[in-house]
Structure formats: C-alpha cells, structure tokens
Structure 1
C-alpha cells in the first residue's frame, strides 16, 4: 500500500498537475454554463438548472462504478495511471464540443446538444477524477506526507481555478457572442488535456504498491464504506461545503453583471477568490501540522463562512468591500480544499489496514460522487433562487432585472453558502482520526 516515507518532489508536482484538468472542468461549467443557457440560449432559469444538474447526477451514480473498475484494473503502469490518460483525452474532446454547438435555429435542438455533450463530459470526468483522487492513499502511508501531497495539489488547483476562471469570461467577452463561448471552450479543452498528460507522465515513477481489491460485489463494498463512521462524517461535511461553493461559483457572473454592474468584475472576483489560495495554502498546511487536520478544517471553514456572509453587503456597500469579502472567502477556501483531501486517504488507508483489502477506489468513487453532487446542486439551487427572484432570461443578455432578482442573486451568492458551511461543521465534530491513530495503522 505505497510507501510510509516521503515522496520525491517530482512525484508531488506531477500528481498535483492533475488538478489542472480537475480545476478547469470543475470551474468553467459551474461558472459559464448557467449564464450560457439563460443569457445566450434564452433557456428559463429552472430548466437551465436541470440541464446543468442532470449530467452531474449521472456522475453520482457512475463514480462508485469507476472506483470499483479502477480497483480491479491490472496494468504494468499501475491500476490508476492509464485512466488519467484515456479519460483525460476523452474529457478534453467532449469539453470542446460542449460550447461548440452550431446555430441550428431550434432552441430545443441546441439545448439537447448541450445536454448530450455535458453528459459525455461527465462520464469521461468520472473515469479521470476517481482514479486520480484514489492515488494518494496508495502513494504513501504517511499522515504528514499526504498533507504535503495535497498542498501541492491545492496550490496547482488554485492556480488553475484562477487561470480558467479569470480567462474563460475574458475570452468569451473578447470574441463576443456565441463564437466567444466556442473559442473559450476550445481553450479550456486544451488546458484540460495538458493537465491530464502532465499527471500521467509526472506519476510514472510513483511508488504505488499492489492493489488487493476487497471481496464481494460493488453493493457489498458500498455498504461497508457507508458503515465507516469517520469517512461518512467527513463526506457529509465536504458535500455541504461543495454545495456552498457551487452556489457561489454559479453566482459570480450574475453578481458581477447584475449587482456590481462593473466591466471586468467577474474576472476581478475570481482573482480575489483564488489569489489568496495561491499564497496561503502552505500556511494552512502549517496550521494542520501544528493543530491537526480537523482543527485546521474547522478554522478554514469559519473563515470561508464569514467572508461569504460579508458578501451580503453587495447591494449597498462599495464594490471594494465585496471584493475584500470574496478575498476572505478565498483564504478559507484554500483550507477547505487542503484538509478534507488530506483526511480522505487517511480514512481509506486505515480501512485497508484494518481489513487487509483495498476499497480505496470505492471510497474515492463515493467521495467524488458526493463532491460532484454538491457542485452540481450548487448551480441548480442557485437557478431555483434566480427563479424565485423572478430572473429574466434572454438570448442577448443585458436585460434589466427586477429588484427581487438582484436580491436573490446577492443572497444566493452570500447568505445561503455561509449557512451551508456553518451547518456542515455539525457533522465534522464527530470525526476522530488523528495523526497518532493513522500512523499506528500505517505501521501495523
């Protein structure tokens, strides 16, 4: 089950490079797809929310299957690595098609194009993300080394979110119209492909041990994973926070255009959100080493919730206050990515040591299914908030919105995510795995 000691820096960076693919795909659809549907294809907000959510709901079902398949894969390159290349190439190709629909003269057909392409993206992503997230539990048995590994991953993830989240709207606006979305889609597809190839090549020398899949059917494995108390509590916390982040991500374009009404505000909001993560991810890792992963997770969650709550001032306060609040969200966001991703392989590895069989892929499949569900529900919930506020969809954008819609955008971006993050901490209280127990099982 991997090594107990430290990993070469090249492996850490190589593994972290996979976040270029996950970060681009995790960010751009959540940021751009809902506005594309409501403000370019004139799809009503509720229907647009269903279109964004449905393919991700398919992922929720598919991810545990992908995990089980990767657990049972046999390849001289390792059980997980080949999936990074295969699924990464498929994901990039499907993503390029997502925004590339021609002007077909029928809104129904154009919406179906988006739905089918996004479903294909979601399928490819499941077979990339699940093996990718499963790898740390097999790369090292060290509690501290997993935090270092996740630090590299989150730094690269933060940089990718900044790059993709800031450049995608800029590319769209520079080209203009539907052509802007098409060019943006191709650019992001190239970014996804680069991340997948770098992760595949960068982990070529990773010290992955032999995988011994757990016995029984997938249903048996899921039942055992569901009975793992620490994993279940951690997953619930993470899913609620993914839902909160999904709401904020979906709201960026609307907050920038309809509430702040500033040119380039969407890009600036993204810089404020992700910039602190680039600088402070190592600081959160240091907090984890000093206080423990759980306490670091609680602290970063509280920072994120406070920042989100302050963003509720968007309708009345100067724009600078909103940007500062979003920057505070970014400070917390760095931590809520580092800690749960470092805690997940602890739970999976302890289970493997206890039982003598590996369910890492199934654990990861359930985890990524939960994350996918949260991030997919975020835009869906935000679309419901828009509909309740009376948001007006159009084919050209720039339509004056009623005051109720402006309020809905603000609350959906701020108060709702803050409440969700605070609520998630009720489950985290019961998590018990600490460094002593994890290291004890690693040497057992």
Structure 2
C-alpha cells in the first residue's frame, strides 16, 4: 500500500481539484468556521463589536434584528444557488449535446464556478453558524460584528453572481471552449516534453542487451492508462537490473487480463516487485489530461466533427478548431518526445515507453476532419492552409513529407465532390505546400 501511495495521491488530487468537491467544500467550511468563531469571540470580548457604527447597525441590543438579517441572507443565498446552478446544469447539458460530451470536464474544472459555489455555500454556513449566538434569553445578545460580516459576504455574493453570469456566458461559447482545451493541451506538452527537439539524444537506435525472453505482466484492473510514473519505473528497473517495456501508451484502454508491460528477467520478478511496478501506472475509468496529449486533440476534433455535420452545418467552428489543432501540432513538433529512458551506466536501456509520434498525432488531428469535410471547400482550404503553416515551422523533411501527404489526401478526397473552380483553389494551395518539402519539389514526386 505504501508503494502505491504517490500515484494514488496524484490521481486523487487531479480528480478532486477539477470537481465541485474540494475547493467549494474548503471555502464553505472556512466561512462557516469563521462565523462560529467570530460570534463566539464577539460574545466573550464585547470590544469586538464596538467598532461597528450605529448608522450601519443602529440596534446593538436587539437580537431579533440580527436573527432576521442572518436568516434572510441564508435563505436568499440558498434560493439563488438552487436557481442559478439548476440553469447552469441545463446549459452544460445543451452544450455537451451540441459540441461534445467530453467538454463537461472543462466546465467542472473551471475555477470561477468553483469559487462562486464555495462563496455562496460559505455565506449560508456563516449565517447558520452565527445565528445561535443571537438570542434573547437568558441574556440578550446581538452579534453585530458577525452580522456586519454576513452583510459583507452577501455583497460579495451579489458581485460574484454578476461576474459568474458574465463568465459563464463567455465560457459556453465554442471559441472559448476550444481555446481552453488547446491551452491545457499545450501545457501538458510543455510539462511532458520540456526540451527542444534535437536537444537530447533519442534511444530508438540503441541495441538491446541479449537477455532472456521478455515476460508479459498482465493488467489486473480494466481502465484507461491516465498516468505513468516514469521516474519510479526507472528507479525500480535500475535497482533490480531489469528492462521494462510498456506495451500500451498513455490514453489507451487496458482490459483486465491483457499484457500491460514486459520484464526482461522473469526469475527476478517477485510478487512484491510486481506490485511495485503496477503502482507506477495510474488507471482510471476515463481519459484525463495528466499526460494524454492525444485526448486534448480528440476533444477539439469532436467539436469540429459536430460542427461540419449536416445537422449543425457550422464550418466557422470547424475552421476555429483546425486553427487550434495547428497550434498544438506546432508545439508538439518543436519538442523532443521522451520515447526511451536510459539508466546508468550509459547505453543500457532500462525503460521503454511508447509515446505517440508526429505522424500519429497528425492523423489524429486532421484525418477525420479531412474525411467528413470533402463537400466543404472552406474547411478543406483551411486544412491545407493549416498544413502549410505547420510545414513552414518544421525543420525535419520527413515531417514535412507526412504533412504534404496529408494535404494530398485532402485534395484527392475532394476531387470528385467539388466543382473545377474550387478544386483548382485546393490544388494551388497544395502546390504551395508541396514546394516546402524537397521530396515534393515537383508534382510528379
């Protein structure tokens, strides 16, 4: 259990910080505790309420006024919370139906929504915690300073409600949704691949030591691979002189009983070491953005496919998605994917991780859009422009070749569906793309 704690903590923190549980709960509990402490301190030390001016709270000795104000604020806040968040859930349901059900996680992770819910519920708990202090018997007491704090929280709630409505009205717009997904995907790329391409040596060309036949270790829990603790895998492999080959990349589904990874020496794999290796894999019921760049790309592709479907017919949204996908691909292409991890001494491969290459990510980003946009010249033209922009940033001719081949497939897909004038526009843009790759210096290449 101790060995699996780090990966458990990471997965739990990722899940909880993106939901309506941790941040709103902490804020509401903190405010509720503040109401209880302040009312108790005010009763014990009367000087606390002496600074409240009579103009703000004229009846310092009437507890009924304090009770009415606290109960009014509490009931009003809960009414607002019920109505606003019911409408919010309905809005999110409609947005998920129109764009993609995968975008719901982005709204749940929104910090403004979490803070708004936390302040609303915290104001309610603050008033409820302070209300018992306002009493008529056996000795009348009115917690005027605590009530003043409740008024301040009520004002903050009103201002927060106005900003929340403004924020949500922007957050449900498709351009904002796509931009948020793209920025989060780029942050994952920056964290996963911090070095520029060519700055580090790659391990694909290394010779493996001739050892025993690799032994497959089976998965014991069905789910998606959300995270792999590469540091832990490398440490264990070095300590036990093993070579670990991970068979499934991040984001793939691993059914129970299927091979998850292999080890080079079966005789060294004890039951305890087997548990240690498994603890480096975070497996959950759904894909996440912890290390899964492809998942971010797929979310944007889903929105683009919905946009160009006959039921929606919104090519402008699809074009916006293509623009953001281009930005992600450019960020990926300039980084060095950590495909292989070496151990000491040098040139001894200990851990092999299957990361998606450029061709795979390119196909994931553009192939489905290319297939379903054959009848839409605007989307097809933007695809070719995106590929031209991408090719202009590449220094690797093999990557430019893959981009050019993808552009050729776009034109071939539209050849029988567009009129000659629009097809000529696509061919002209393809010629510009081909000119960027030495492999396609001529159209006959």
TM-score (norm 2): 0.20
Larger RCO (CA within 8 A; separation ≥ 6) = 1
